[in-house]
Structure 1
Amino acid sequence: MTKLVDGEDFSIIAKNKICYVTLSSPSTRNAISLRMASIMQSICVAKESNESLFEKFLIDQNCHLIVLQSDVEGIFSSGGNLIELQKNPAEVCHHYGPSIRAFCQLLHNFKIPSLSVLAGPSYGGGVEIALATDFRWSIGKNCDFHFTQTKFGIPPGWGGSLRLSELCPQLNPKKVSALILGKMKLDLSQMLYMGLVDKEFQNKKACMNAIEDWVNQISDCPKSVRDDLLDRQSFHNFQELEEYDIQTFNKYFLKDEHKKKIADFMKNKKKK
Structure 2
Amino acid sequence: MPDVECLVVEAAADRVVWRLNRPEVRNAIDQELVDALHAACAEVEASPRVVLIVGEGGTFAAGADIAQLRDRRREDALRGINSSVFERIHRLPMPTIALIEGYALGGGAELAYACDFRIGTPSTKIGNPETGLGILAAAGAAWRLSALVGEPLAKEILLAGRVLSASEALAVRLLNDVVEPAELLAAGQELADRITAKAPLATRLTKAVFHAPPGAHPFVDDLAQAVLFETEEKQARMTAFLERRSR
Query: Normalised by the size of structure 2, how large is the TM-score?
Result: 0.81
Q: How many residues get paired?
A: 244
How far has the Cα of 1:82 moved from its partner? 1.7
CA distance in 2, matches of 1:208, 1:247: 32
CA distance in 1, matches of 2:224, 2:78: 44
Q: Does 1:78 align with 2:62?
A: yes
Quick one: which of 12, 25, 30 aligns to 1:33?
30
Amino acid at match of 1:236: P
How far has the Cα of 1:62 moved from its partner? 3.7
How far has the Cα of 1:238 moved from its partner? 7.6
- Equivalent residue for 1:167? 148
- Equivalent residue for 2:167? 189
| Larger mean Cα displacement after TM superposition, 220-229 or 89-98 | 89-98
How far has the Cα of 1:165 moved from its partner? 0.9
How far has the Cα of 1:164 moved from its partner? 0.4
Q: Does 1:158 align with 2:139?
A: yes
Contact 2:99 2:185 in 1 (8 A): no
Instruction: Choose between structure 1 and 2: higher helix proportion.
Output: 2
How far has the Cα of 1:95 moved from its partner? 6.6
Quick one: which of 87, 104, 107 aligns to 1:125?
107
CA distance in 1, matches of 2:40, 2:222: 29
- Equivalent residue for 1:69? 54
2:151 aligns to what SS in structure 1? coil
Cα distance per residue 1:226-249 (max 9 Å; x no partner): 344233235333893388369839
CA distance in 2, matches of 1:210, 1:136: 11
How far has the Cα of 1:13 moved from its partner? 3.9
How far has the Cα of 1:156 moved from its partner? 0.7
Amino acid at match of 1:214: L
Quick one: which of 207, 227, 232 aligns to 1:230?
207
CA distance in 1, matches of 2:200, 2:159: 45
How far has the Cα of 1:117 moved from its partner? 0.4
Cα distance per residue 1:109-139 (max 9 Å; x no partner): 2231111101112222221121111111012
- Equivalent residue for 2:158? 180
- Equivalent residue for 1:240? 217
- Equivalent residue for 1:90? 72
Quick one: which of 24, 27, 35 aligns to 2:21?
24
Greater Rg by CA: 1
2:76 aligns to what SS in structure 1? coil
CA distance in 2, matches of 1:235, 1:165: 18
Q: CA RMSD in A?
A: 3.3
2:98 aligns to what SS in structure 1? strand
Cα distance per residue 1:23-50 (max 9 Å; x no partner): 121221111123223444xx3xxxxxxx
Contact 2:109 2:127 in 1 (8 A): yes
CA distance in 2, matches of 1:163, 1:190: 18
2:123 aligns to what SS in structure 1? coil
Identical amino acids, percent of aligned pairs:
17
CA distance in 2, matches of 1:93, 1:31: 21
How far has the Cα of 1:221 moved from its partner? 2.7
Q: 1:184 to 1:219 in 2, by over 3 A?
A: closer
CA distance in 2, matches of 1:54, 1:247: 27
